Amino acid sequence: MSAPSDLRYTRDHEWIKVDGDEATVGITQYAAEQLGDIVFVELPDSGRDLEVAKPFGVVESVKAVSDLYAPISGAVTSTNDALAKEPELVNSDPYGAGWMIKLTIADPTQIDDLLDGSAYDDLVAAG
């Protein structure tokens, strides 16, 4: 399956969707499949300032612990509270109900540095 073309991607398998001056962040379907059944998601509090490429949270599957990396710098405006009770949403709907955080966009040029859908597909295909 190919990555949605309206999103941008990091090499660490996060996606980001820009909506005006706010962006939504999650992990890709490929990442969710590689992790397996996700059982825990740890997200930052609203208001926290994130720095591009720095860890902002943790996603855990039954087997593994994996850091989440900020695709861009910005302040967290909200987090997906549903994941506390239903972390499996990340597996079942990674680009929708499995979203993780919304944040402000501190520097729009950072988005241009991210991969588009086809470049991300190439990254995954290359293993």
Partner 1 sequence: MTDPGVAESVIHETPLASRHEALGARMIEFAGWRMPVQYTSILDEHRAVRERAGLFDLTHMGEMLVEGPTAGEALSNAVVSNPLALEPGRAQYSMICAPDGGVLDDLIIYRLGQDRFMVVANAANAQVVSDALAERLARTRAVLDDHSLATGLVAIQGPRSVDVLSPLTDVDLAGLRYYAIAEGRVAGIPASVARTGYTGEDGFEVFVEIERTGEIWDALLDGVQGAGGLPVGLGARDTLRLEAGMPLYGNELDRTTNPFEAGLGRVVKLGKRGDFVGRAALERVAAEGPKRQLVGMIVEGRGIARHGYPVAVGERRTGVVTSGTQSPTLGVPIAMAYVATTDAEPGTMVDVEIRDGRVPARVVPLPFYRRSK
List of residues contacting partner 1 (CB under 8 A): 34, 36-37, 39-40, 42, 58, 60-63, 65, 84, 127
Please say which residue, 11 or 40, places its beta carbon nearer to partner 1. Answer: 40
Place of tokens 């402000």: 104
Please say which residue, 51 or 107, places its beta carbon nearer to partner 1. Answer: 51
> Least Å distance between CB 19 and partner 1?
29
> Least Å distance between CB 115 and partner 1?
19
> Least Å distance between CB 27 and partner 1?
17
> Least Å distance between CB 30 and partner 1?
11
Q: 95: Cβ–Cβ under 8 A, 6 or more apart, which residues?
A: 4, 7, 15, 26, 28, 29
Encode burial over 72-91: b for 16+ CB neighbours within 10 A, e otherwise. Answer: bbbebeebbeebeeebebbb
Q: Is the dihedral of CA 29, 34, 36, 40 positive or negative?
A: negative
Please say which residue, 32 or 105, places its beta carbon nearer to partner 1. Answer: 32
Please say which residue, 64 or 113, places its beta carbon nearer to partner 1. Answer: 64
**Greatest Cα pair distance in the chain:** 37
